[in-house]
């Protein structure tokens, strides 16, 4: 039953470019898809470990810049009359490097902040994103600063025996984003249902108890941060090669907020949550544009968000799943929202 | 009592929070396979002693040695890896998971597989997962919670949550178990069954250190009792010795009763 629904959903998503010919709407779907991948990666941290990364866009932006610079090449001066020269590599190498470098950044941010966690992690991630933005803005020789990196090549897939296939059209990019999104979804699903996922869940529910049965907090959270950052980096790379121009504005705080909204409204801690929330808030501005003035659009956007959180406080997917299961059987109700947020602590 | 190998040595441990002395100079040992109880009035320092033994608190002085390893400076999860597992007074379960999933989380130490194997669903990871599910089922049966296996742990009665807490601790494969007030919130018949459970845990070769207020329970189950008051040990011995110790009677009942 579940498998059939999954196959039908994937088939429906895969069929979109076949009947949707409007390039504007297709473009909206592609950028939304890229942000959905980012939201999924944020959900891995926020939903499954309870750690809020308010600088998540940093990993996305680092992925975008790494991928762009790898495929464009650069020539920068270093202290002591040294020059660092890099000849352009194929964009696919940029995609791989973006994942690795973003993951490495996730490792250092995690290592720095998970000794203390909670509010510290929020602050470290915000600062990290701001520092990276300032570097991108001011290291003009490398990043062109506000002038932006332009003419970023599209991703080309090496096909053995056929040479290369450059993904130029919107349809190509739609399928590329869809495939990467499915892989990210599968990776996160496998992860949270594994032994490692249970360790994350244990830590979020009752850290003291989890530690006492032998779960290593720092290691578990750091691994989650690395994987989350790497997936965000992949999304950033897709963004750079699709939009083909990036500037430091990619690091803007509002982009992180958008991802947080997608995760919270869809339902943090549920696998499908960020996908549903991401599609709604990615496509809502597109839907509102023809019917409203620009100022009114943002008011409506906020109104929709508040309405969702008021009616479905756990987020769309978990709230609906709960109602559905309660109607079918008398499944036990989850604890009230407020209770799950306060991690019960054993007094020392 | 036959001579036993010593499992744990608490050597001149002191804990001070600023000017407050929670424990002053505590020394005792626990033998392999022994059931030792740590008792004392409220605020005597019992839970503090547990926190020191399991790495949640660093002692101001002294040290705890477990099977030859000094525990000072080890993190709680590293101490758990030595086989020294504790339960908690209040928050003994993962409330938003079913009892069954609680046990799967508790089996963490037994199910370590490489992350990549788990993501790719390799046969090794799948076999390990099957083994964990079987063990979780066995543990639930062992503490007698089969009927509650698929209920959320947070919805169970306090007595049942205690049992889940013990099953969780056992899932971590302890060689020594520290139980912090395990029968509080249990009725008489539940307590009686729990005593049987503690004995069967010991029969598996697991050393037990117990903190408990329920005196009849402590007197029935313990091989030896250590009495704390105001952070120092005032008596130590078999239940019969402790029952008749004037210092213990005084600590619990006050001067008048001691003279009476």
- Greatest mean pLDDT among A57-61, B40-44, B68-72: A57-61
Residues 6+ apart with CB under 8 A from A50: A203, A204, A343
Cα separation of B208 and A211, whole Å?
Answer: 20
Distance in Å from the first CA to the final CA of chain A: 48
What's the whole-model pTM score? 0.87
| Average of per-residue pLDDT across A205-219 | 90
**Which tokens go with A120?**
């510290």
Is A214 in contact with B77 (Cβ distance < 8 A)? yes
**Which tokens go with A13?**
């998503």
Chain B: residue nearest A223 by CA? B115
Cα separation of B226 and B10, whole Å?
Answer: 12
Reported as type and span, the H/E element at residue B228 is strand B224-229
Assess contact for B134 and A315: CB atoms under 8 A. no
Region of poorest pLDDT, from A304-313, B223-232, B251-260: B251-260
- Cα–Cα distances (Å) from B226 to A330, B50, B65, B229, in that order, read 48, 13, 18, 10
If you ran DSSP here, which 8-state letter would residue A246 be given? B
Chain B partners within 8 Å of A345 (Cβ): 91
Average pLDDT of chain A? 89
Chain A partners within 8 Å of B89 (Cβ): 346
For chain B, give the number of residues: 260
Assess contact for A146 and A247: CB atoms under 8 A. yes
Is B121 in contact with A190 (Cβ distance < 8 A)? yes
Closest CA to B98 of A198, A186, A304, A229: A198
Split at pLDDT 50, 70, 90, the class of A182 is: very high
User: Which ranges constitute the DSSP H helices of chain A?
Assistant: 2-19, 23-46, 56-72, 91-113, 119-138, 140-143, 170-192, 195-205, 207-212, 217-243, 253-266, 273-288, 294-311, 316-328, 337-341
- Checking if the pLDDT of A336 tops 70, the result is no
Cα separation of A264 and A278, whole Å?
Answer: 10
Is B81 in contact with A214 (Cβ distance < 8 A)? yes
Chain A partners within 8 Å of B75 (Cβ): 211, 216
Identify which has the larger pLDDT, A153 or B258: A153
Helices (H) and strands (E) in chain A, counts: 15, 4
Q: How many CA atoms lie less than 13 Å away from B45 in the CB half-sphere?
A: 26
Closest CA to B38 of B22, B51, B49, B24: B49
Cα separation of A255 and A45, whole Å?
Answer: 17
Closest CA to A45 of A263, A343, A318: A263
| Average of per-residue pLDDT across B178-184 | 90
Chain A partners within 8 Å of B51 (Cβ): 348
Residues 6+ apart with CB under 8 A from B122: none
- Determine the distance from the C-alpha atom of residue A173 to the mean position of all C-alpha atoms in its chain, rounded to a whole number: 18
Query: Is any Cβ of chain A less than 8 angstroms from the Cβ of B112?
Result: yes
| Average of per-residue pLDDT across B70-79 | 91
If you ran DSSP here, which 8-state letter would residue A53 be given? -
Q: Is A322 left (phi over 0), alpha (psi -120 to 50) or beta?
A: alpha
| Average of per-residue pLDDT across A60-80 | 92
Instruction: Supply the pLDDT for residue A177.
Output: 96
Min Cα separation B32/chain A (Å): 21
User: For the segment B111-155, what is each residue's pLDDT rounded down to a tens digit?
Assistant: 778 888 888 878 888 888 889 999 999 999 988 899 999 999 999
Instruction: Supply the pLDDT for residue A46.
Output: 93
Cα separation of A76 and B17, whole Å?
Answer: 56
In chain A, the DSSP E strands lie at: 74-78, 82-86, 156-159, 163-166
- Checking if the pLDDT of A265 tops 90, the result is yes
- Cα–Cα distances (Å) from B177 to B35, B45, B64, B220, in that order, read 10, 19, 15, 18
| Average of per-residue pLDDT across A14-33 | 92
Helices (H) and strands (E) in chain B, counts: 11, 10
Q: What percent of chain B has pLDDT over 90?
A: 54
If you ran DSSP here, which 8-state letter would residue A145 be given? G
Cα separation of A250 and A236, whole Å?
Answer: 9
User: Which ranges constitute the DSSP H helices of chain B?
Assistant: 46-53, 76-81, 99-106, 115-120, 123-142, 158-171, 188-203, 215-221, 239-243, 246-253, 255-259
| Average of per-residue pLDDT across B96-118 | 88
Assess contact for A102 and A37: CB atoms under 8 A. no
Identify which has the larger pLDDT, A61 or B254: A61
Cα separation of B175 and B31, whole Å?
Answer: 12
Helix, strand, coil shares, percent, chain A, to 5: 70, 5, 25
Kindly report the number of other CB atoms within 10 A of residue A213's CB atom: 26
Mutate to test the interface with B, among A47, A195, A223 (most CBs of B within 10 A): A195
Count of A-B CB contacts under 8 Å: 116
- Checking if the pLDDT of A333 tops 80, the result is no
For chain A, give the number of residues: 348
- Checking if the pLDDT of A150 tops 50, the result is yes
Closest CA to B151 of B139, B141, B161: B161
Kindly report the number of other CB atoms within 10 A of residue A25's CB atom: 15
- Checking if the pLDDT of A242 tops 90, the result is yes
Distance in Å from the first CA to the final CA of chain B: 32
| Average of per-residue pLDDT across B95-108 | 92
Q: How many CA atoms lie less than 13 Å away from A287 in the CB half-sphere?
A: 11
Instruction: Supply the pLDDT for residue A82.
Output: 83
Query: Is any Cβ of chain A less than 8 angstroms from the Cβ of B139?
Result: no
| Average of per-residue pLDDT across A59-78 | 93
Cα separation of A168 and A176, whole Å?
Answer: 11
Chain B partners within 8 Å of A217 (Cβ): 77
Kindly report the number of other CB atoms within 10 A of residue B113's CB atom: 18
| Average of per-residue pLDDT across A87-102 | 94
Residues 6+ apart with CB under 8 A from A289: A297
Identify which has the larger pLDDT, B199 or B109: B199
- Checking if the pLDDT of A343 tops 50, the result is no
Cα separation of A238 and A256, whole Å?
Answer: 17
Dihedral in degrees, nearest 10, Cα atoms B90, B230, B4, B1: -110
Cα separation of A316 and A37, whole Å?
Answer: 18
């Amino acid at each position: 039953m579940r498998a059939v629904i999954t196959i039908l959903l994937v088939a429906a998503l895969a069929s979109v470019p076949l009947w949707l010919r409007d390039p504007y709407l297709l473009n909206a779907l592609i950028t939304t898809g890229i942000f959905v991948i980012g939201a999924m990666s944020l959900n891995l941290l926020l939903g499954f470990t309870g750690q809020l990364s308010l600088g998540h866009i940093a990993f996305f932006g680092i992925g975008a810049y790494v991928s762009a610079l790898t495929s464009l090449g650069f020539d920068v001066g270093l202290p002591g009359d040294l020059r660092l020269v890099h000849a352009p590599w194929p964009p696919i190498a940029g995609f791989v490097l973006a994942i690795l470098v973003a993951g490495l950044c996730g490792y250092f941010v995690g290592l720095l902040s998970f000794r203390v966690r909670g509010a510290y992690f929020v602050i470290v991630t915000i600062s990290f994103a701001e520092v990276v933005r300032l570097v991108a803005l001011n290291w003009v020789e490398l990043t062109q600063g506000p002038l932006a990196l332009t003419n970023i090549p599209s991703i080309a897939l090496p096909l053995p025996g056929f040479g290369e296939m450059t993904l130029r059209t919107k349809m190509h990019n739609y399928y590329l984003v869809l495939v990467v999104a499915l892989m990210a979804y599968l990776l996160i699903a496998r992860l949270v249902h594994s032994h490692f996922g249970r360790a994350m869940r244990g830590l979020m529910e009752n850290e003291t108890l989890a530690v006492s049965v032998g779960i290593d907090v720092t290691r578990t959270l750091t691994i989650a941060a690395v994987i989350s950052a790497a997936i965000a980096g992949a999304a950033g790379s897709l963004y750079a090669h699709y939009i083909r121009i990036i500037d430091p504005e990619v690091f803007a705080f509002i982009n992180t907020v958008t991802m947080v909204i997608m995760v919270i409204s869809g339902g943090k801690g549920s696998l499908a949550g960020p996908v549903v929330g991401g599609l709604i808030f990615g496509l809502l501005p597109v839907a509102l544009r023809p019917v409203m003035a620009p100022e009114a659009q943002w008011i409506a956007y906020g109104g929709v968000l508040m309405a969702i959180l008021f009616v479905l406080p756990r987020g769309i997917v978990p709230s609906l799943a709960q109602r559905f299961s309660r109607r079918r059987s008398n499944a036990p109700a989850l604890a009230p929202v407020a209770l799950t947020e306060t991690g019960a602590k054993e007094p020392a | 009592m036959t001579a036993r190998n010593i499992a744990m040595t608490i050597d001149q441990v002191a804990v001070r929070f600023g000017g407050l002395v929670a424990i002053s100079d505590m020394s005792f040992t626990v033998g392999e396979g022994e059931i030792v109880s740590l008792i004392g009035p409220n605020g005597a320092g019992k839970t503090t002693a547990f926190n020191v033994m399991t790495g949640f608190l660093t002692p101001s002085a002294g040290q705890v040695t477990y099977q030859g390893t000094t525990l000072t400076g080890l993190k709680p999860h590293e101490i758990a890896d030595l086989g020294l597992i504790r339960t908690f007074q209040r928050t003994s379960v993962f409330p938003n998971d079913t009892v069954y999933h609680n046990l799967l989380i508790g089996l963490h130490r037994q199910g370590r597989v490489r992350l990549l194997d788990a993501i790719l669903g390799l046969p090794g990871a799948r076999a390990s997962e099957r083994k964990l599910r079987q063990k979780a089922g066995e543990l639930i049966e062992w503490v007698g919670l089969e009927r509650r296996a698929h209920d959320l742990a947070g919805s169970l009665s306090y007595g049942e949550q205690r049992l889940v807490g013990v099953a969780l601790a056992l899932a971590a494969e302890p060689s020594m178990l520290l139980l912090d007030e395990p029968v509080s919130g249990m009725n008489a018949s539940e307590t009686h069954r729990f005593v049987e459970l503690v004995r069967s845990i010991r029969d598996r070769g697991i050393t037990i250190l117990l903190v408990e207020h329920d005196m009849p329970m402590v007197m029935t189950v313990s091989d030896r009792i250590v009495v704390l008051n105001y952070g120092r040990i005032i008596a130590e011995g078999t239940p019969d010795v402790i029952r008749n110790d004037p210092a213990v009677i005084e600590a619990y009942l006050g001067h008048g009763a001691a003279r009476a």
